[in-house]
Structure 1
Amino acid sequence: MKKDQDMDRPFKNALSSPPSFDYDPEGWNALQQRLDEGRRRPKGIFLPRWAAALALLLFFSLCSFTSYLTVRLNNVGQRLSFVEGRMNHQTDTIRKVEHRIIKDTVIIYGWPSAAEQSAGNWAGRFPLIQPGAYSFPRSGYSNFYGNNIPNAAPLSGLLSTGEVPDKKAFSEAIRNREENLLPLPSSTHLAATSSSALRGGVLPAVVLQESKGVSWVRRTAHKALQKGQPNGISLSGGGSIANFFSMPGTGFKGYMLGLGAELDYSPHWKLEAGLEYLHLSFTLYDEEDMEAYPAVMPENSADGIQELYATLNYLQLPLGLKYCFNLQGALRPYFKAGLVFRQARRQRFNYEFTGTGGSYYRPLAIQDDGLYLSSLRGGPGIAADLTHNWGVYAEALYHYDFRLGKKDYAFLRYLGFNAGLRFRLY
């Protein structure tokens, strides 16, 4: 392959100095000019194969990183919302209770000698209930039990003026006046809520105080990711149906196969990107049209060239912007325009010469590894839905080359009719 790519180099080296025999000076100058044009690098940005692969890798890495960062930010937002809901229901939250009176009461059952215990045994256990600190008169029980006050045994030392009711009577009173009690969560529920709120799986990590600049960068990046996230993604696949060329040559044959992705950012505007393979073959008969292609020396200088058969293969990376007109009907017309980056994979040229012994062929193969911006294209199209996710499309795009690569010789200018299927991911 390398030998085929550089087979024109010996001719250039051999023709670097004038020959010793008689020659036409004008023809020699024209030949040198053509050789200089072949050595000259065209203007523009051209990337070798490794640079193009690295650029694609960086592009997909950036897309993956932004998607991962978006997912992480969404998870953090969900956690913060969950924590905010938990904090709104914490046990230390103060609520306003109207027309309710809450009293803390300690009830002791099954202690026959409870009244004989000293007040010092209870010091520090119940900070709010100390001997002599509060007084619960019998009128306080009427608010809780009503007019039927159960039998109670005095408890001196713990509550100086309070009384401990009988267990059975106390249970009946609670059942009778259950509607007067304020519903509070149980201690088990409160403990579970407090412990779960402090687990690392619920609360995010402790956030340190950050500077204004870092905070601004974080907020700006978050907003950019939110705005850059598409509303929908669709995948498409198709090919060319017919092509009409407006370039030198006859007997054009070719096809195009492509895969693409469509990002929806608004109801009308969509962004497209894809990968295409283009195959094209044609024939040239006019020597003036052959001058733009690489020259091959015949076996005999007196032999004349008759035809040139060219077979071209390209990889293309199209980027386009689509505007949809009708969003409600079954058929949705649109118009799109964009740029095309190209890489000439392998170009084969077969030259037919005619000499004294008859016709013979001289082949030449060239491959260009550079990726360059080569074309503009645009045109109308129409799309239709078959199901909720599946659909079809058809479009007519005019392809116009305005620049050639280092080893690209044909300006492709044609009108192509394409059709294919579309699948909507979400």
Structure 2
Amino acid sequence: MKKDLNMDQHFKSALSTPPAFTYDPEAWDVLQKRLDEADHKPKGIILPRWAAALAFLLLFGLCSFTSFLTFRLNTVGRRLALMEIQLEQSPDTVWLVKNNWIRDTVNLSDQPLLAKQSAGNWIRRFPLFQPGAFFPIDPADPLATQSAGLTPEAENLPALLPPNEVQEEEEVAVLRKREERALHLLPSAEFPMPLQQGPSQVAMPAIVVQESKGASWAKRTTYQALQKSKPKSINLTGGGSITNFFSMPGSGFSSYILQVGGEFKYGSNWSVEAGLELLHLSFELKDEKYFEGYPTLMADDPSDYMQDLYITLNYLQLPLSVKYYFSQGTTVQPYLKASAVLRQARRQSFDYEFTGPGGAYYRPLSIQDDGIYLSSFRVGPGFSMPLARNWGLFAEALYHHDYRLGKMDYTSLRYFGINAGLTHRLY
């Protein structure tokens, strides 16, 4: 330990006392300034390392929860549609009798009437519809009695007979006896029997109005919020960068961006998009005035100077975007996009090139940080167009601007990028 303290004192003395050989005073001043600022915390919002995983889990949970709600609402919608189809039943046929005498319209077959079968099936389809709610039939109404399978009273028959057709009293008496024999087969209105054989009155389905207590404020608010937050459609997106134009110090830029995400459309013009991006960037700095913002690495000999700095950066980014579509229902749909970007600086490699009396040599330095922070915003136009069923193509031109740096981030990105990819509509 004492040896280490002496070594530390030796370095401090060497830095505070200039050496006897020729040196550049400005270089030593710059080095001293960098050492003084090494312990200063850069500006920006710094989050713990587990924040990246938490943000990803929250994004995944939000997408999963929205998909689950959409699936449940679609299931309920399909069931309601099926129920409405089942409700559309053809009414019983009522024959309008004009100047004809229907001698016998009673169904004496061994099968239940169709109206009774329909009413009986409703009790298994939907419990709110209660069969057996019989509508009373007025015997004085010939049309009503005929639609129910009954023969009009004898005294009403002459009014329905044409002038050229006169029936004898014997036929009327026989008709009345046949009616009396058939009436005892009809079920009672107080005790309907859906499966009774023989003629019966028409059992029409009736809707029972049930009283329900008012829902609480919390339930109503939750239901309304879910209805409003339900997206009109959900699209999966995937793509990457075609080219990027950088407006920042450096030369020899080489980069690519890979991205996946999901788009949730609300209404006809607005949508919300969230995704995950991998950004790879490499470039070179040759001007000494731009070296100051990057980590410092000592040369093998104090007389050697740094000539070039080669930088390779890898970022994990979480863009949260809002889109506005200018037109709907057309082949090409232009839109305007604005995004805020959360960033996590992954592996950063710095390769220093020093030049001395013996020639040029390189010294590498690698930094990796798991912190996540709000780094930048981007804005620009784009368009989407359909390709096939549920598949589409998108392209966009976005300007990306960094307005703050993280603790272990040293490069402010400013570039104009052109991206393209595919979309798949889930529903």
For the aligned pair, the TM-score class normalised by the smaller chain equals 0.5 to 0.7
Residues 130-162 of structure 1: CA deviation (Å, up to 9, x unaligned): xxxxxxxxxx9999xx844999xxxxxxxxxxx
In structure 2, give the amino acid aligned to 1:51.
A
The offset of 1:358, in angstroms, is 1.0
**Matching residue within 123, 130, 134 for 1:90:** 130
Residues 282/44 of structure 1: CA separation in 2 closer, same or farther (3 Å cut):
closer
Give the direction of change, closer, same or farther, for the CA distance of 1:15–1:384 in structure 2 (3 Å limit): farther
Q: Please give the residue correspondences for 1:256-405 in structure 2 after superposition, counting only pairs within 5 Å.
A: 256-405=257-406
What is the TM-score when the length of structure 1 is the normalising length?
Answer: 0.67
1:173-212 equivalences in 2 (<5 Å): 173-174=181-182, 186-188=193-195
The 1:13–1:241 alpha-carbon spacing in structure 2 relative to 1, beyond 3 Å, is: farther
Give the aligned partner of residue 18 of structure 2. 22
* Runs of 4+ with deviation above 6 angstroms: 11-18, 23-29, 73-85, 140-143, 177-182
SS at match of 1:281: strand
- Paired residues of 1:70 and 1:226 also in contact (CA < 8 A): no
Aligned to 1:194: none
Structure 2 counterpart of 1:352, which letter? Answer: E
Partner residue of 1:221?
222
1:162-219 residue CA offsets vs partner (Å, 9 max, x unmatched):
xxxxxxx89x9329x999998x964459xxxxxxxxxxxxxxxxxx989x8xx11111
Q: Is the contact between residue 66 and residue 225 of structure 1 (CA under 8 Å) also seen in structure 2?
A: no
User: Displacement of 1:284 after TM fit?
Assistant: 0.5
- CA displacement at 1:69 relative to structure 2: 5.6
Instruction: Report the Cα offset of residue 400 of structure 1.
Output: 0.5
C-alpha contact (below 8 Å) 1:333/1:382 kept by paired residues: yes
Partner of 1:42: 42
Query: Structure 1 residues 274, 13: CA separation in 2 closer, same or farther (over 3 Å shift)?
Result: farther
| Cα distance in 1 for residues equivalent to 2:77 and 2:424 | 31
Displacement of 1:46: 2.4
Contact 1:142 1:148 in 2 (8 A): no
With over 3 angstroms needed to count, the CA separation of the structure-2 counterparts of 1:73 and 1:319, relative to structure 1, is closer
Please report how far the alpha carbon of residue 251 of structure 1 lies from its aligned counterpart in structure 2 after TM superposition.
0.6
Distance 2:390 2:235 in 1: 9
- Cα 1:222/1:70, change in 2 over 3 Å: farther
Find the counterpart in structure 2 of residue 419 from structure 1: 420
Equivalent pairs counted in the alignment come to: 336
Instruction: Pick closer, same or farther for the CA change 1:15–1:409 going to 2, 3 Å.
Output: farther
Give me the identity figure in percent: 53
SS class of match (2:130): coil
Contact 2:52–2:344 under 8 Å retained in 1: no
Per-residue Cα deviation, 1:242-284 (whole angstroms, up to 9, x for no partner): 1111000011111111112111101111111111111111110
Rounded Cα–Cα distance in structure 2 between residues aligned with 1:40 and 1:147: 117
1:20-74, Cα deviation, whole Å (9 max, x unpaired):
6337998767545434544333344322232321233244335434554665677
CA contact (8 A) 1:252 1:280 kept: yes
Q: Which runs of 5+ in 2 are unaligned?
A: 1-6, 84-121, 141-152, 157-171, 197-211
Tell me if the contact between 2:154 and 2:176 (Cα under 8 Å) persists in the aligned partners: no
- Check conservation: 1:352, 1:360, Cα contact below 8 A: yes
SS of structure 2 residue aligned to 1:272: strand
Say whether the 8 Å CA contact 2:132–2:192 is kept in structure 1: no
Measure the CA separation in 1 of the matches of 2:326 and 2:359. Answer: 61
How has the CA–CA distance of structure 1 residues 33 and 218 changed in structure 2, closer, same or farther, with 3 Å as cutoff? farther
SS of aligned partner of 1:406: coil
- Contact 2:335–2:383 at 8 Å: present in 1 too? yes
Change (3 A) 1:422 1:217: same
Measure the CA separation in 2 of the matches of 1:398 and 1:15: 47
What is the SS of the residue equivalent to 2:228?
A: helix
Q: What's the Cα RMSD here?
A: 4.2
> What amino acid maps onto 2:261 in structure 1?
G
User: What are the residue-to-residue correspondences of 1:27-106 with 2, within 5 Å?
Assistant: 31-65=31-65, 67-68=67-68, 86=126, 88-91=128-131, 93=133, 96-100=135-139
Tell me, in whole angstroms, the C-alpha distance in 2 between the residues paired with 1:272 and 1:65: 15
